[in-house]
Structure 1
Amino acid sequence: MSKSYESDITFFIREYNKNNPLLRKQQVDGRNILWDRKLETDLLKEFDLSRVSQKSYVYQTD
């Protein structure tokens, strides 16, 4: 009777993953769509060059 405690949420997640074997692949595919992209360095350089410097006090009118 040395079973360790498992919360209801942990139990739910384990059962959900067991019943939905494609879930992990869908999560990885979703991450690839949003985050794992190659950066376009030329475009990033262009963004940096087009940046306008901010005045020391932004609310002052000229």
Structure 2
Amino acid sequence: MKHHIRYLHYASEFSKFLEELKQQHPEIEEHQREGFALLWDRPPLDLEEQERANASEVKPKAYVYA
């Protein structure tokens, strides 16, 4: 699909705002990476921890509607 040449470099106002904000405050991206790492980049659980987590899991009832 061919795009018109003037739309190839289009950036929304919000995109421009974010780029300007990142240029003024370059530490923002580092803080984002740190926050992401806190939530998602966790070391794998060892077998004992996995077994304990599985054993302590609360099983949902088969029929949840009353």
When normalised by structure 2's length, the TM-score is: 0.62
Question: Are 2:44 and 1:43 aligned?
Answer: no
Which structure shows the higher helix fraction? 2
Which residue of 22, 27, 33 maps to 1:22? 27
Q: Deviations over 1:8-27 (max 9, x none)?
A: 11111110111111111111
Computed over aligned residues only, the root mean square deviation of the Cα atoms, in angstroms, reads 3.1
Note the residue ranges of structure 2 that are not aligned, 5 or more in a row.
1-5
In the alignment of these two chains, the number of paired residues is: 60
- Residues of 1 paired with 2:9 and 2:22: CA distance? 20
2:3 is aligned to none
Percent identity (aligned): 29
Q: CA shift at 1:31, angstroms?
A: 1.2
Q: Deviations over 1:16-42 (max 9, x none)?
A: 111111111111111111211112232
- Residues of 2 paired with 1:30 and 1:10: CA distance? 22
- Residues of 2 paired with 1:51 and 1:35: CA distance? 20
- Residues of 1 paired with 2:55 and 2:38: CA distance? 28
